[in-house]
Amino acid sequence: MGCFAEMAAQTGIVAFLRFGKMVTESKKDPIKLLKLLDIFASLNKLRLDFNRLFGGKACAEIQNLTRDLIKRVIEGSCEIFWELLTQVELQRALSPPFDGGVPKLVSFITNYFLGIHRSWKQEKFHDRILTDAILDLIKALEQNFVTWSKAYQDTTLSFLFSMNTHWHLYKNLKGTKLGELLGEAWLKYHERSKDHYAANYLQESWAKLPVSLSRDGLILFSGGRAVARDMVKRRLKAFNAAFDEMYRKQSTWVIPDRELREKTCQSAVTVIVPVYRSYIQTYGPLVEQDSSASKYAKYTAQSLEMMIGSLFLQKGLDAVRFRSTTLHSSPNGKINNGNDVVTGGSVHRQYHTSPTTTIVA
Protein backbone atom coordinates (compact mmCIF):
# COMPACT_ATOMS: atom_id res chain seq x y z
CA MET A 1 0.00 0.00 0.00
CA GLY A 2 2.93 2.30 0.77
CA CYS A 3 4.22 1.74 -2.74
CA PHE A 4 0.80 2.60 -4.19
CA ALA A 5 0.64 5.79 -2.13
CA GLU A 6 4.08 6.82 -3.35
CA MET A 7 3.10 6.13 -6.96
CA ALA A 8 -0.13 8.11 -6.54
CA ALA A 9 1.80 11.05 -5.13
CA GLN A 10 4.22 10.94 -8.05
CA THR A 11 1.41 10.91 -10.62
CA GLY A 12 0.28 14.33 -9.42
CA ILE A 13 -2.71 13.64 -7.15
CA VAL A 14 -1.09 15.52 -4.25
CA ALA A 15 -0.19 18.45 -6.50
CA PHE A 16 -3.78 18.44 -7.82
CA LEU A 17 -5.25 18.62 -4.32
CA ARG A 18 -2.83 21.39 -3.35
CA PHE A 19 -3.87 23.31 -6.46
CA GLY A 20 -7.49 22.99 -5.34
CA LYS A 21 -6.47 24.45 -1.99
CA MET A 22 -4.85 27.42 -3.75
CA VAL A 23 -8.12 28.04 -5.64
CA THR A 24 -10.06 28.21 -2.36
CA GLU A 25 -7.49 30.62 -0.91
CA SER A 26 -7.80 33.08 -3.80
CA LYS A 27 -9.93 36.21 -3.62
CA LYS A 28 -13.57 35.42 -2.79
CA ASP A 29 -15.20 36.92 -5.88
CA PRO A 30 -18.95 36.26 -6.29
CA ILE A 31 -18.37 34.75 -9.72
CA LYS A 32 -16.25 31.99 -8.16
CA LEU A 33 -19.14 30.50 -6.21
CA LEU A 34 -20.38 28.41 -9.12
CA LYS A 35 -16.86 27.15 -9.74
CA LEU A 36 -16.49 26.19 -6.08
CA LEU A 37 -19.79 24.36 -6.25
CA ASP A 38 -18.56 22.53 -9.36
CA ILE A 39 -15.43 21.49 -7.47
CA PHE A 40 -17.54 20.26 -4.55
CA ALA A 41 -19.83 18.28 -6.88
CA SER A 42 -16.82 16.65 -8.56
CA LEU A 43 -15.22 15.74 -5.24
CA ASN A 44 -18.51 14.35 -3.98
CA LYS A 45 -18.85 12.10 -7.05
CA LEU A 46 -15.31 10.82 -6.49
CA ARG A 47 -15.78 10.27 -2.74
CA LEU A 48 -16.37 6.49 -2.86
CA ASP A 49 -13.49 5.93 -5.28
CA PHE A 50 -11.19 8.06 -3.11
CA ASN A 51 -12.12 6.08 0.00
CA ARG A 52 -11.52 2.81 -1.81
CA LEU A 53 -8.21 3.78 -3.39
CA PHE A 54 -6.71 5.90 -0.61
CA GLY A 55 -8.26 4.37 2.50
CA GLY A 56 -5.08 2.93 4.00
CA LYS A 57 -2.72 4.54 6.50
CA ALA A 58 -0.04 4.95 3.85
CA CYS A 59 -2.32 7.45 2.05
CA ALA A 60 -2.83 9.64 5.12
CA GLU A 61 -1.45 12.74 3.35
CA ILE A 62 -3.88 12.35 0.47
CA GLN A 63 -6.79 11.80 2.89
CA ASN A 64 -5.90 14.88 4.91
CA LEU A 65 -5.48 17.05 1.82
CA THR A 66 -8.83 15.86 0.45
CA ARG A 67 -10.71 16.53 3.72
CA ASP A 68 -9.08 19.95 3.99
CA LEU A 69 -9.99 20.82 0.41
CA ILE A 70 -13.64 19.85 0.90
CA LYS A 71 -13.80 21.89 4.11
CA ARG A 72 -12.30 24.94 2.38
CA VAL A 73 -14.65 24.62 -0.61
CA ILE A 74 -17.71 24.56 1.67
CA GLU A 75 -16.52 27.46 3.80
CA GLY A 76 -15.56 29.55 0.75
CA SER A 77 -18.91 28.91 -0.92
CA CYS A 78 -20.83 29.92 2.19
CA GLU A 79 -18.74 33.06 2.64
CA ILE A 80 -19.38 34.23 -0.92
CA PHE A 81 -23.07 33.36 -0.91
CA TRP A 82 -23.92 35.19 2.30
CA GLU A 83 -22.08 38.26 1.04
CA LEU A 84 -24.12 38.32 -2.17
CA LEU A 85 -27.10 40.25 -0.76
CA THR A 86 -24.82 43.10 0.27
CA GLN A 87 -23.27 43.11 -3.19
CA VAL A 88 -26.68 43.37 -4.86
CA GLU A 89 -27.72 46.23 -2.60
CA LEU A 90 -24.50 48.10 -3.35
CA GLN A 91 -25.36 48.11 -7.06
CA ARG A 92 -28.47 50.18 -6.43
CA ALA A 93 -26.51 53.42 -6.38
CA LEU A 94 -24.83 52.70 -9.74
CA SER A 95 -26.13 53.74 -13.15
CA PRO A 96 -28.24 51.37 -15.26
CA PRO A 97 -27.06 50.33 -18.76
CA PHE A 98 -26.97 53.32 -21.10
CA ASP A 99 -28.61 51.27 -23.88
CA GLY A 100 -31.60 50.04 -21.86
CA GLY A 101 -30.39 46.45 -22.00
CA VAL A 102 -30.53 43.85 -19.24
CA PRO A 103 -27.96 44.72 -16.55
CA LYS A 104 -25.20 42.16 -16.30
CA LEU A 105 -26.02 41.90 -12.60
CA VAL A 106 -29.48 40.55 -13.48
CA SER A 107 -28.29 37.86 -15.90
CA PHE A 108 -25.47 37.00 -13.50
CA ILE A 109 -27.80 36.57 -10.52
CA THR A 110 -30.33 34.45 -12.44
CA ASN A 111 -27.56 32.14 -13.68
CA TYR A 112 -26.13 32.16 -10.16
CA PHE A 113 -29.41 31.03 -8.59
CA LEU A 114 -29.98 28.32 -11.16
CA GLY A 115 -26.46 27.00 -10.63
CA ILE A 116 -26.78 27.09 -6.84
CA HIS A 117 -30.13 25.32 -6.90
CA ARG A 118 -28.78 22.57 -9.14
CA SER A 119 -25.86 22.06 -6.78
CA TRP A 120 -27.78 22.17 -3.50
CA LYS A 121 -31.19 20.76 -4.46
CA GLN A 122 -30.50 17.42 -2.75
CA GLU A 123 -29.41 19.02 0.51
CA LYS A 124 -32.71 18.96 2.41
CA PHE A 125 -31.18 20.49 5.53
CA HIS A 126 -30.32 23.64 3.58
CA ASP A 127 -33.60 23.99 1.65
CA ARG A 128 -35.26 26.50 4.00
CA ILE A 129 -32.10 28.52 4.51
CA LEU A 130 -31.42 28.63 0.79
CA THR A 131 -35.03 29.51 -0.06
CA ASP A 132 -35.12 32.43 2.36
CA ALA A 133 -31.77 33.73 1.12
CA ILE A 134 -32.86 33.56 -2.52
CA LEU A 135 -36.16 35.34 -1.81
CA ASP A 136 -34.27 38.12 -0.01
CA LEU A 137 -31.92 38.47 -2.99
CA ILE A 138 -34.81 38.58 -5.45
CA LYS A 139 -36.51 41.33 -3.42
CA ALA A 140 -33.27 43.32 -3.37
CA LEU A 141 -32.86 42.85 -7.11
CA GLU A 142 -36.41 44.03 -7.78
CA GLN A 143 -35.76 47.14 -5.70
CA ASN A 144 -32.72 47.75 -7.88
CA PHE A 145 -35.01 47.63 -10.95
CA VAL A 146 -37.23 50.34 -9.54
CA THR A 147 -34.30 52.58 -8.68
CA TRP A 148 -32.55 52.04 -12.02
CA SER A 149 -35.69 52.67 -14.08
CA LYS A 150 -36.07 56.07 -12.40
CA ALA A 151 -32.46 57.01 -13.19
CA TYR A 152 -33.11 57.46 -16.92
CA GLN A 153 -33.74 61.00 -18.12
CA ASP A 154 -35.51 59.61 -21.19
CA THR A 155 -38.86 58.11 -20.18
CA THR A 156 -39.04 56.00 -23.33
CA LEU A 157 -35.65 54.43 -22.59
CA SER A 158 -36.84 53.73 -19.04
CA PHE A 159 -39.82 51.83 -20.47
CA LEU A 160 -37.53 49.84 -22.77
CA PHE A 161 -35.22 48.96 -19.87
CA SER A 162 -38.14 47.80 -17.72
CA MET A 163 -39.57 45.75 -20.58
CA ASN A 164 -36.20 44.05 -21.15
CA THR A 165 -35.60 43.28 -17.49
CA HIS A 166 -39.05 41.91 -16.65
CA TRP A 167 -38.99 39.71 -19.74
CA HIS A 168 -35.52 38.40 -18.91
CA LEU A 169 -36.67 37.26 -15.49
CA TYR A 170 -39.87 35.69 -16.76
CA LYS A 171 -38.35 33.88 -19.74
CA ASN A 172 -35.23 32.61 -17.96
CA LEU A 173 -36.93 31.42 -14.77
CA LYS A 174 -40.20 30.01 -16.13
CA GLY A 175 -40.10 26.22 -16.12
CA THR A 176 -37.15 26.05 -13.71
CA LYS A 177 -36.96 24.92 -10.09
CA LEU A 178 -36.27 28.49 -9.11
CA GLY A 179 -39.36 29.62 -11.03
CA GLU A 180 -41.41 27.06 -9.11
CA LEU A 181 -39.98 28.39 -5.87
CA LEU A 182 -40.94 31.97 -6.73
CA GLY A 183 -44.41 30.86 -7.81
CA GLU A 184 -46.70 31.26 -10.80
CA ALA A 185 -48.07 34.59 -9.51
CA TRP A 186 -44.54 36.04 -9.41
CA LEU A 187 -43.82 34.86 -12.95
CA LYS A 188 -47.14 36.20 -14.26
CA TYR A 189 -46.44 39.57 -12.63
CA HIS A 190 -43.21 39.91 -14.59
CA GLU A 191 -44.88 38.78 -17.81
CA ARG A 192 -47.66 41.37 -17.36
CA SER A 193 -45.09 44.02 -16.45
CA LYS A 194 -43.24 43.31 -19.69
CA ASP A 195 -46.48 43.80 -21.66
CA HIS A 196 -47.26 46.99 -19.72
CA TYR A 197 -43.89 48.60 -20.38
CA ALA A 198 -43.86 47.42 -24.00
CA ALA A 199 -47.19 49.21 -24.57
CA ASN A 200 -45.94 52.34 -22.80
CA TYR A 201 -42.73 52.32 -24.85
CA LEU A 202 -44.64 52.09 -28.13
CA GLN A 203 -47.15 54.75 -27.13
CA GLU A 204 -44.43 57.22 -26.09
CA SER A 205 -42.32 56.73 -29.20
CA TRP A 206 -43.35 55.35 -32.58
CA ALA A 207 -47.09 55.76 -32.05
CA LYS A 208 -46.59 59.54 -32.00
CA LEU A 209 -45.20 59.73 -35.54
CA PRO A 210 -48.38 59.16 -37.60
CA VAL A 211 -49.83 62.34 -36.10
CA SER A 212 -47.50 64.27 -38.44
CA LEU A 213 -49.29 62.78 -41.43
CA SER A 214 -52.57 64.56 -40.83
CA ARG A 215 -55.14 64.70 -43.63
CA ASP A 216 -56.85 67.80 -42.27
CA GLY A 217 -57.44 70.36 -45.03
CA LEU A 218 -56.52 67.90 -47.76
CA ILE A 219 -59.94 66.43 -48.40
CA LEU A 220 -60.80 67.17 -52.05
CA PHE A 221 -58.02 69.82 -51.99
CA SER A 222 -60.53 72.34 -50.65
CA GLY A 223 -57.92 75.09 -50.45
CA GLY A 224 -56.60 74.48 -53.95
CA ARG A 225 -53.89 72.17 -55.29
CA ALA A 226 -51.00 74.55 -54.54
CA VAL A 227 -52.08 74.93 -50.92
CA ALA A 228 -52.53 71.18 -50.57
CA ARG A 229 -49.04 70.60 -52.04
CA ASP A 230 -47.47 72.92 -49.46
CA MET A 231 -49.35 71.23 -46.63
CA VAL A 232 -48.20 67.77 -47.76
CA LYS A 233 -44.60 68.99 -48.03
CA ARG A 234 -44.66 70.43 -44.51
CA ARG A 235 -46.21 67.32 -43.04
CA LEU A 236 -43.84 64.94 -44.81
CA LYS A 237 -40.91 67.10 -43.73
CA ALA A 238 -42.13 67.01 -40.13
CA PHE A 239 -42.57 63.23 -40.28
CA ASN A 240 -39.09 62.76 -41.75
CA ALA A 241 -37.50 64.91 -39.06
CA ALA A 242 -39.35 63.09 -36.26
CA PHE A 243 -38.52 59.66 -37.70
CA ASP A 244 -34.85 60.52 -38.26
CA GLU A 245 -34.45 61.78 -34.71
CA MET A 246 -36.20 58.79 -33.19
CA TYR A 247 -34.22 56.35 -35.30
CA ARG A 248 -30.94 58.11 -34.45
CA LYS A 249 -31.66 58.04 -30.75
CA GLN A 250 -32.89 54.45 -30.60
CA SER A 251 -30.12 53.06 -32.81
CA THR A 252 -27.96 52.86 -29.66
CA TRP A 253 -30.60 50.98 -27.66
CA VAL A 254 -30.78 47.21 -27.42
CA ILE A 255 -33.31 44.43 -26.86
CA PRO A 256 -31.15 41.36 -26.15
CA ASP A 257 -33.89 38.76 -26.51
CA ARG A 258 -34.54 37.95 -30.16
CA GLU A 259 -38.22 37.11 -29.72
CA LEU A 260 -38.94 40.33 -27.84
CA ARG A 261 -36.88 42.40 -30.30
CA GLU A 262 -38.74 41.09 -33.33
CA LYS A 263 -42.11 41.60 -31.67
CA THR A 264 -41.23 45.17 -30.65
CA CYS A 265 -40.00 46.05 -34.14
CA GLN A 266 -43.11 44.58 -35.70
CA SER A 267 -45.32 46.62 -33.36
CA ALA A 268 -43.51 49.79 -34.43
CA VAL A 269 -43.86 48.86 -38.10
CA THR A 270 -47.59 48.23 -37.63
CA VAL A 271 -48.30 51.69 -36.22
CA ILE A 272 -46.19 53.57 -38.79
CA VAL A 273 -45.84 51.83 -42.14
CA PRO A 274 -49.53 51.33 -43.14
CA VAL A 275 -50.30 54.99 -42.35
CA TYR A 276 -47.23 56.22 -44.24
CA ARG A 277 -47.89 53.94 -47.23
CA SER A 278 -51.49 55.15 -47.52
CA TYR A 279 -50.41 58.80 -47.19
CA ILE A 280 -47.77 58.49 -49.92
CA GLN A 281 -50.13 56.64 -52.24
CA THR A 282 -52.80 59.31 -51.78
CA TYR A 283 -50.77 62.53 -51.64
CA GLY A 284 -47.39 61.55 -53.07
CA PRO A 285 -48.41 62.63 -56.58
CA LEU A 286 -48.73 66.20 -55.29
CA VAL A 287 -44.98 66.44 -54.66
CA GLU A 288 -43.44 63.83 -56.98
CA GLN A 289 -43.18 66.31 -59.86
CA ASP A 290 -41.35 68.80 -57.65
CA SER A 291 -37.62 69.14 -58.33
CA SER A 292 -36.95 68.44 -54.65
CA ALA A 293 -39.47 65.60 -54.36
CA SER A 294 -36.93 63.26 -52.70
CA LYS A 295 -36.55 65.78 -49.89
CA TYR A 296 -40.15 65.17 -48.88
CA ALA A 297 -40.96 61.64 -50.10
CA LYS A 298 -37.68 60.62 -48.48
CA TYR A 299 -38.62 57.05 -47.64
CA THR A 300 -40.59 54.21 -49.16
CA ALA A 301 -42.79 52.06 -46.94
CA GLN A 302 -40.33 49.21 -47.47
CA SER A 303 -37.30 51.26 -46.43
CA LEU A 304 -39.06 52.37 -43.24
CA GLU A 305 -39.85 48.77 -42.39
CA MET A 306 -36.25 47.70 -43.01
CA MET A 307 -34.83 50.52 -40.90
CA ILE A 308 -37.10 49.78 -37.96
CA GLY A 309 -36.31 46.07 -38.26
CA SER A 310 -32.59 46.82 -37.96
CA LEU A 311 -32.94 48.43 -34.53
CA PHE A 312 -32.09 47.07 -31.06
CA LEU A 313 -29.42 44.62 -32.18
CA GLN A 314 -26.46 44.16 -29.88
CA LYS A 315 -23.25 45.23 -31.50
CA GLY A 316 -20.12 43.17 -32.00
CA LEU A 317 -18.53 41.62 -28.93
CA ASP A 318 -21.34 42.80 -26.66
CA ALA A 319 -23.72 40.41 -28.44
CA VAL A 320 -21.27 37.54 -28.14
CA ARG A 321 -20.76 38.22 -24.44
CA PHE A 322 -24.50 38.34 -23.77
CA ARG A 323 -25.16 35.06 -25.59
CA SER A 324 -22.34 33.30 -23.77
CA THR A 325 -23.37 31.20 -20.81
CA THR A 326 -19.97 31.73 -19.22
CA LEU A 327 -19.53 34.81 -17.09
CA HIS A 328 -16.13 36.45 -16.96
CA SER A 329 -14.76 38.81 -14.34
CA SER A 330 -12.53 41.75 -15.08
CA PRO A 331 -8.87 41.79 -13.98
CA ASN A 332 -9.81 43.47 -10.71
CA GLY A 333 -12.21 40.64 -9.85
CA LYS A 334 -15.54 42.36 -10.64
CA ILE A 335 -18.42 41.50 -12.92
CA ASN A 336 -18.03 44.69 -14.94
CA ASN A 337 -20.62 45.92 -17.37
CA GLY A 338 -18.39 48.74 -18.63
CA ASN A 339 -21.43 50.90 -18.13
CA ASP A 340 -21.94 54.03 -20.17
CA VAL A 341 -23.58 56.76 -18.15
CA VAL A 342 -25.93 59.28 -19.72
CA THR A 343 -25.46 62.70 -18.18
CA GLY A 344 -27.17 65.76 -19.57
CA GLY A 345 -27.55 64.17 -22.97
CA SER A 346 -23.90 63.12 -23.34
CA VAL A 347 -22.54 59.64 -23.03
CA HIS A 348 -19.27 58.63 -21.43
CA ARG A 349 -17.77 55.31 -20.40
CA GLN A 350 -17.74 54.57 -16.70
CA TYR A 351 -15.65 51.83 -15.10
CA HIS A 352 -16.24 51.20 -11.44
CA THR A 353 -13.29 50.58 -9.16
CA SER A 354 -13.38 49.61 -5.55
CA PRO A 355 -11.03 48.06 -3.03
CA THR A 356 -13.74 45.47 -2.31
CA THR A 357 -15.18 42.81 -4.58
CA THR A 358 -18.31 44.04 -6.38
CA ILE A 359 -20.58 43.10 -9.23
CA VAL A 360 -21.23 46.02 -11.54
CA ALA A 361 -24.79 46.35 -12.86
At 259-309, the pLDDT tens digits run 999 999 999 999 999 999 999 999 988 888 777 878 899 999 999 999 999
Centroid of chain to Cα 70: 34
6-20, 61-75, 124-138, 287-301: which is most confident: 287-301
* 198 lies in some domain: no
Residue 314: predicted pLDDT: 85
* 104 lies in some domain: no
Pick from 93, 123, 154: which residue ends a domain?
93
Residue 173: predicted pLDDT: 92
Q: Residue 254: which CATH number? A: 1.20.1280.170
Residue 23: predicted pLDDT: 66
The phi-psi region of residue 63 (left if phi > 0; otherwise alpha if psi is between -120 and 50; otherwise beta) is alpha
pLDDT > 70: percent of the chain: 70
Identify the weakest region by mean pLDDT among 2-16, 23-37, 135-149, 203-217: 2-16
* 127 lies in some domain: no
* 138 lies in some domain: no
**Average pLDDT score over residue span 107-124:** 64
Number of structural domains in the chain = 2
**What length does the chain have?**
361
Q: With cut-offs at 50, 70 and 90, classify the pLDDT of residue 219.
A: confident
* 43 lies in some domain: yes
Q: With cut-offs at 50, 70 and 90, classify the pLDDT of residue 176.
A: confident
**Average pLDDT score over residue span 151-171:** 97
* 128 lies in some domain: no
List the domain range (segments joined by +) for residue 216: 205-309
At 320-344, the pLDDT tens digits run 434 433 333 344 444 444 454 433 3
Measured CA angle at 140 (ends 135, 141), to 5 deg: 95
Contact 212, 268 (CB under 8 A): no
More confident residue, 50 or 119: 50
Of 77, 67, 66, give the one whose Cα is nearest residue 36: 77
Residue 1: predicted pLDDT: 47
Whole-angstrom distance between the N-terminal and C-terminal Cα of the chain?
54
Q: Is the pTM of this model over 0.75?
A: no
Pick from 93, 111, 146: which residue ends a domain?
93
* 266 lies in some domain: yes
Residue 271: predicted pLDDT: 97
Average pLDDT, the chain: 78
* 4 lies in some domain: yes
Pick from 60, 93, 126: which residue ends a domain?
93
Contact 335, 105 (CB under 8 A): yes
b/e sequence 58-80, b meaning 16+ C-beta within 10 Å = ebeebeebbeebbebbeebbeeb
Query: 315: which residues sit within 8 A by CB, 6+ positions away?
Result: none
At 63-73, the pLDDT tens digits run 777 777 777 77
Residue 207: predicted pLDDT: 97
More confident residue, 232 or 30: 232
